[in-house]
Structure 1
C-alpha cells in the first residue's frame, strides 16, 4: 500500500497539496479565503488528469459554484447547457457558475466531493471533481476513503482498481495531511476547553490570539498547547 506518511505534501512541486494543507491551517476569519478556494479549484482542474472540471461550492451556499475547467469541454458545456455561465470561460480561469452540478449531471459526468476546512475545523466548502471516466472516479472515491482510514486499501494496490494519476495522488496526500492538521488543532482546543467557561468557542479564540501574538500558524500554536499539556 502506498504510504501517505511517505509523501511530502508541503514540498515544492506539490502546489495542490500545499494549498489544501495551508487552508486547514488558516484561521476562519483570515481575509482572502475565497481566493484560496478559487486556487484549489484551479489547481485541481489543472493537475488531476482525469478531472474535466473542478468546482468549489461554499457551505452554506446558494447553488452557485466557483468552477475551473481543464479546457477541452468548455465549448461543449456552453452548447448544451441551459445554465451557461454569464461570461466566456477559458483555460486557466475560474468563475461563478449557478447550478453547475445540474449542468454537469446533464452531461453524464461523475462527481467526487472532498470537504475543505479552515483552522476552526468546520467544512467551509466542498471541492467537487467532475469526470466522464467512471473507473477513474471510483478509484478517486476509494482514495478519499483511504485518506480517512489508513486501514483501507489504496487504489491500485490490490490490482482490482485503477491506480491514481499523479495529480490525484497529490490531492489525496494533501487531503490526508489536512485531516491530520485538523485533528491536531481539535485536540489542542479540547485541552484548552477543559479549563475555559466558554468551552470550544473560547478555546479557539484563545488559540487564535496566541498564534497571532507569536506570529505562528494555528498548527504550531496547537502543537505547543499539546506539548505543554503532555509535559
Structure 2
C-alpha cells in the first residue's frame, strides 16, 4: 500500500511496522473507499500474527443494516462473532455502536451476553477485547475483535488500548511498564498515530463547518471533493486546510 507523505506530529514513520502502517492508512482513507475491507483484512491478520496475547482476530462491520464479519484470522473468531449476531448483542456490537473499546476480561464470569459466553468458552477462549476502528470521516467503521486463551496476558493489552481511547481512565495496570511484546507496542503506536490523523481531519472539518455553516456530513463531503479536485489525499487536503485557516474555502 502506498504510504502517505503526511506524518502526524511526533510520529516515527521510519520505524513504523506493517500493522501500525495499516491502522494509520485506515484513518487516512475515505470511509466509503473500496480499499477499506482490504485494510481491515490486513489489520486482522497482522494483529493475530504479531500481538502475543491474541489467539484469533476478526472485524465486524455493518452491511445493509446488519452486522457481519468482513475479515478474520480463523473460523473460531467467526463462530464467536456469529453467536453475537444471532443474539443481536455482544462486545463487538457494543464497541461498534458506542465507539469505545469493550473488554471481557473473564468470559466465564460475564452474564451480559450468554450466547457469546457459551460460544467463546466452548472454543477455549477466556478473554476478549473489541476495539472500534475509524476511517477518514472520523466515526467507527468497524470493530476489531481480539480473542485470547489467557486472561492474564490479555489484561495488559486492554489497559494499553484504553490509554489511547481514554487517557483519563483509571487503569488497573497504570504503573506497569510498556509491554515487552513488540506486536502489542506496534498495535498501540498505530492506534496513537491513527488518532493523530483523525485529529487533523476533524480540525479541518470543524473549520469548514464554521466557514460554510455546514453540518459535519456536508463538511466531510466538501473535503472529499476538494481532495479529488486537487489530486491530493484526504489527510493532505485536511492538513492544507488546517494550515490555511485564515483563508476562505474555495466557493464560499
How far off is 1:220 after superposition?
A: 1.4
Indicate whether 1:68 and 2:85 are aligned.
Answer: no
Give the secondary structure class of the aligned counterpart of 1:163: coil
Determine whether 1:109 maps to 2:126.
yes
Question: 1:52 & 1:115 partners in 2: Cα distance?
Answer: 19
Residue 31 in structure 1 maps to residue 15 in structure 2: no
**Corresponding position: 1:99 with 2:83:** yes
TM-score by length of 1: 0.75
The structure richer in helix per residue is 2
**Relative to 1, partners in 2 of residues 1:185 and 1:146: Cα closer, same or farther, differing over 3 Å?**
same
**TM-score for both structures, normalised by structure 2:** 0.70
State the shift of 1:213 in Å. 2.1
Partner of 1:212: 228
For residue 21 of structure 2, what is the aligned residue in structure 1?
A: 18
Query: What's the offset of the Cα at 1:152?
Result: 6.9
RMSD: 3.2
- What is the aligned length? 205
Say whether residues 1:53 and 2:37 are aligned partners.
no
Judging changes above 3 Å, is the alpha-carbon distance between structure 1 residues 23 and 211 closer, same or farther for their aligned structure 2 residues?
Answer: same
- Greater CA drift, 190-199 or 56-65: 56-65
Residue 90 of structure 1: aligned partner: none
Cα distance, 1:219 vs structure 2 = 1.4
Q: Secondary structure at the match of 2:175?
A: coil
Partner of 1:195: 211
Residue ranges of structure 1 left out of the alignment (5+ in a row): 85-96
CA distance in 1 between counterparts of 2:222 and 2:11 reads: 32
Aligned pairs for 1:118-157 (under 5 A) are: 118-150=135-167
Counterpart Cα distance in 2 of 1:7 and 1:156: 25
Cα separation, 1, equivalents of 2:23 and 2:172: 21
